[in-house]
Structure 1
Amino acid sequence: MLVAAIFCLMIATRSSFLYPLNNWDDANSYFSMGKSIFNGQMPYRDVFDQKGMYLYFLYGIAYLISHTTFIGVFALEIVLGFLDVIGFYRIIMLFIGNENDAGADGDYKTSIAAAGFSCLTFAVIVCSRSFWWGGSAEEICLPLYIWGLYISVRYFKNIYPQKAMSFKDVFIGGLLAGFIANIKFTGLGFFFAWMMMVFFSFLSCKEFVNGIKACFVFLFGMFVTFIPWIIYFGIKGALFEWYWGYVYVNVFVYTDVESANPGTMGRINQMVKILYWLIRDNPQYFVFVIIGIIYAFFGKKQKFMTRLNVPVLFAFMFLGFFGGGRELPYYSLPLSVFAIFGFAFIGHLLTEYVLKDSNENKSKLLSFAALTIAVLLVYFNSMNVPFMKVSRDDYFMYRFRDRVLETENPTLLNVGCLDAGLYTLCDIVPSCRWFQTQTLNIKEPENNPYLEQERYVKEGLIDYVLVRDYIPESINDHYELCDKETYGWDGAEFNYYLYKKVR
């Protein structure tokens, strides 16, 4: 399973050493934010991006491993990917292992079959379009969803309704939800449904008081994950900046930019269309998601709550990400974790009718075949593979890097797009709060990113300005064009200009 995680990610993510650079602007923005933390700058106040602190902290650790490459991010993705595969294995074993024991591994043959299907599940996820270029916030969150899913399914499948969920498991669920809340809180729809189903199970077990207690235990688990950042921002007197940058901007500013309110029926119609196109764009895993949800609902000898659990978790996760009407390719990646139930169904059939009387060698052969198929699936389906053919010498951002590094201790400003990767390649710590152009409609003059970037250019406060498409009117007052390139992807084409300050 570890080998599968390594080889699948080695092909699927542009953070891998097989690629010249992970040139996704989101991933580079996270990298610059993490870098800034470990260079004494404070997120939201000194440098701005609107994701959560655990994402930046993990990227900061990756920066400590390698300052100018994504090798540290690749190592992080492998660790998290291995946790994904292990979590998938535990879920499959609930369906093809010893059902009388919530945590049993079953016999050797079923264990090795489960390992194979876990690898295949991981493969169809990372080779999908929603995996995008690798390193997304959604990818970082996957193990949190998977292990939350495991705890929930294990309880409703093997324990409910004999007794209520233990407070220990409820607390762990709260911890997982808290980490999600501090990475990308729109993903909390899943854990809202998770705790809702747990509370209903307490009611079903006629333990109303303990159900109320469980809600507080869950919330306490969430609160624990906030403690490090309460201390961090509290010591620096910046609790408001944390709230403003992460909560206020995402709730009241970012959503205002996205879309107008279409009304209830319009919203439902919008989400139906979104789901349709998600299925069209990501057939690699949605086939198994659909099969799996049907299997989880119509499986034999199940209690009513057990049948509802998986569809409800899926529905609330979908609402959390797409209820606002905003759609980007990588938003749907967390939905892919439900593909495990499709593979659990296939695994159940396989162990019941194929491996039942087989020997261990046959099981090993099938497991090796699953690993091979997993790697081939990624190689022939990942949208990133063609980028392997681009060498560092041919990629224009390395040429831009060489021009910037002609200046000792250079400073940089990114105008017209998010972080294009030049901060990473040059190992530059952003010196401007709005070090990249955000798609935010902030009306307050003191927090307006466009006015601040315009001031930096107009006053010549930065050594180099990397511009995409939009060229500031005052750029020629202090800067001269030293390089340019036209570059595109996914049907779009952009013009990049590198300006150097005239001394």
Structure 2
Amino acid sequence: MKTIMNRLTAKNILMLVISFVCMFFLTTASPFYEFNRSVDANTMYTVGKGLLHGLLPYKDLFDNRGPLIYLIHSLNAVFSYHSFTFIYVIESLLLFLDIAYINRILSMKLSARTAMLCSLLFIPLAFTSRIFYYGDLPEEYAMTFVLILTYSCIQYNWFEMPRRYYIVNGCFVAILFWIKYSLVIPWIVFFVYIGIACLLTKRFKQLFMIILDALIGFLSVTLPIIILYWSTGALKFLFNDYFYLNLTHYHVQNASLSYTLFKMEYPTFGFSHHLVIIRTIYYLMIALFICAIVRYMREAKMHDSNKVLLVLIVFIDILATYEVGGASFSYYLFACEPFLLFYLFELGLVVDKYLYNKKYVIWGLSVIALLGIFVTNRNYRTSMYVTKPSHSYQYEYSKIINKSKDKSLLNYRFLDVGLYTYTGTYAKDRFFIRNNISYKKMDESQREYLHSMKYKFVVAKYRKGWKLFKKDREFLAKHYKRLRHMRFDYKDHSQGWIDLYVRK
């Protein structure tokens, strides 16, 4: 308790307030939004609610994320069964840790005011609509943990790092591994590097203690999960759905290093990278990024081996994020956004050189930096204070379904659009949605659900170049009546129509 009270400094309280205020507008999980339009967030929430009703992820409800992310959303359902308020609180706390650790890192070489300015500028740069989408991302946990890992690599020489740091990092690996295993890349680099360094310097006892501490942290999170799935006979479903199917059936893509770099390094304005001028800017940003890292390594008071370790973590993580993630969704790179701190360090050097004594100018720039969230992130345009609820299919379709005693619903051939959330229902069939994964059994099961006619309501959507198969359309036309036909818009890259059907 005393340690906590000592950390409640004016600066930390300010950063905590700023985090809650900024996240209030940034994530659609916040109370500022009547509906969370994120299909991923609603999918995780529906599976999480299933836990409260005795349904296990993978065995009873199919999705291909890690089990811990569903537990987090299950806790959200305990606090609020129709909203994402608990998720908003978690995201706000993660943002607080983000800017707090960036501030710590930058304060090592920059003045206090400049470090705060750069820390606040991180928010609009990292949380853009292009890469943050609607929020509630597994990558948010990775961002915070990577910043803590980066701080520890800067603060301590690898051979002098306190034992508790290895235990904590072991916990971080386990948490991320059971949220989304592709996020553990920085820790693979970290532990492999330290292991090799210990062997080369004949620190065998220290290596043993590092392995022991890391295992303590990892197993403290992992064992309860394994025991739960083993005791319920669902262990084979966990390994098949979370590991095997992700590794063999999820999208596979190839991305060059330069493509991955400029996707991460310059996401803010959403320009097309196919334009020659814009591509030139991207490559200049890559060059600036490399120069910024070199400058930081020259300025930082770190052991040379720690500098090598940090550089390896940065570039291997950026390079491998797409490849290990299995697809080219831009939000995958949100976990790499902590490395923007090298840009911020370069900016801070300039500010300290020319504006060091102009504190009011620096604080004014800090306010402008925070207001930048309304420039780089456009989620606020979908809030209940900007758009009318009646323009939302979530509102209209939930209103119709909630009037019926039978709320049985089939979300047919696409991800969860939130109707389980806003009708206060939960899914009871394993393949309650159609995931972004090529899995024949899922498609066949969904068609069986539809043709069984056990659902009173069916919701289906389509867009240009994609619609239901002919036999599905014919079946719906024969046995169901289309009640509503409304437009959906997902992050400017997926527009189309979404229909609500009721059984005749």
TM-score between both structures, scaled by the size of structure 1: 0.84
8 A contact 2:413–2:443 mirrored in 1: no
| Residue 136 of structure 1 pairs with residue 143 of structure 2 | no
Choose the corresponding residue for 2:419, options 413, 418, 422.
Answer: 422
| Residue 223 of structure 1 pairs with residue 219 of structure 2 | yes
Indicate the residue corresponding to 1:262 in structure 2. none
In 2, the alpha carbon distance for the partners of 1:175 and 1:276 equals: 31
Q: Deviations over 1:226-276 (max 9, x none)?
A: 12212221221211111112111211221xx435xxxxxxx5x63433333
8 A contact 1:4–1:371 mirrored in 2: no
With over 3 angstroms needed to count, the CA separation of the structure-2 counterparts of 1:188 and 1:417, relative to structure 1, is same
How far is 1:366 from its partner? Answer: 5.7
With over 3 angstroms needed to count, the CA separation of the structure-2 counterparts of 1:173 and 1:476, relative to structure 1, is same
| Residue 378 of structure 1 pairs with residue 373 of structure 2 | yes
8 A contact 1:458–1:478 mirrored in 2: no
How far is 1:283 from its partner? Answer: 6.5
In 2, the alpha carbon distance for the partners of 1:127 and 1:442 equals: 32
Choose the corresponding residue for 1:400, options 397, 402, 407.
Answer: 397
Unaligned stretches of 5+ residues in structure 1: 97-109, 260-266
In 1, the alpha carbon distance for the partners of 2:369 and 2:54 equals: 42
Letter in 2 for 1:333: F
In 1, the alpha carbon distance for the partners of 2:169 and 2:493 equals: 41
In 2, the alpha carbon distance for the partners of 1:306 and 1:192 equals: 15
Indicate the residue corresponding to 1:99 in structure 2. none
Letter in 2 for 1:319: L
Q: Deviations over 1:106-137 (max 9, x none)?
A: xxxx4454333322223321135211111111
Indicate the residue corresponding to 2:153 in structure 1. 152
Q: How does 1:321-470 map to 2 (within 5 A)?
A: 321-324=321-324, 326-348=327-349, 350-351=351-352, 354-355=355-356, 358=357, 363=359, 365=360, 368-388=363-383, 389-443=386-440, 448-469=441-462, 470=467
Q: 3-state SS of the aligned residue for 2:483? A: strand
| Residue 58 of structure 1 pairs with residue 72 of structure 2 | yes
How far is 1:405 from its partner? Answer: 0.9
Q: How does 1:255-274 map to 2 (within 5 A)?
A: 257-259=251-253, 267=254, 270-274=256-260
Letter in 2 for 1:168: R
How far is 1:449 from its partner? Answer: 0.9
Indicate the residue corresponding to 2:37 in structure 1. 23
Root-mean-square deviation (CA, aligned residues, Å) is: 2.7
| Residue 198 of structure 1 pairs with residue 194 of structure 2 | yes
With over 3 angstroms needed to count, the CA separation of the structure-2 counterparts of 1:386 and 1:235, relative to structure 1, is same
In 1, the alpha carbon distance for the partners of 2:429 and 2:319 equals: 36
8 A contact 1:132–1:330 mirrored in 2: yes
Q: How does 1:73-84 map to 2 (within 5 A)?
A: 73-84=87-98
How far is 1:206 from its partner? Answer: 4.1
Indicate the residue corresponding to 1:126 in structure 2. 127
Query: Matched residues, percent identical?
Result: 22
With over 3 angstroms needed to count, the CA separation of the structure-2 counterparts of 1:221 and 1:72, relative to structure 1, is closer
Q: Number of residues paired by the alignment? A: 464
Letter in 1 for 2:89: A
8 A contact 2:109–2:300 mirrored in 1: no
Indicate the residue corresponding to 1:102 in structure 2. none
Choose the corresponding residue for 1:37, options 20, 33, 51.
Answer: 51
Indicate the residue corresponding to 1:320 in structure 2. 320
8 A contact 1:28–1:421 mirrored in 2: yes
With over 3 angstroms needed to count, the CA separation of the structure-2 counterparts of 1:424 and 1:311, relative to structure 1, is same
With over 3 angstroms needed to count, the CA separation of the structure-2 counterparts of 1:171 and 1:302, relative to structure 1, is closer
8 A contact 1:458–1:477 mirrored in 2: no
Deviating more after overlay: 372-381 vs 484-493: 484-493
In 1, the alpha carbon distance for the partners of 2:172 and 2:322 equals: 21
In 1, the alpha carbon distance for the partners of 2:108 and 2:188 equals: 23
8 A contact 1:64–1:72 mirrored in 2: no
In 2, the alpha carbon distance for the partners of 1:280 and 1:366 equals: 26
How far is 1:304 from its partner? Answer: 3.0
Deviating more after overlay: 198-207 vs 51-60: 198-207
With over 3 angstroms needed to count, the CA separation of the structure-2 counterparts of 1:326 and 1:440, relative to structure 1, is closer
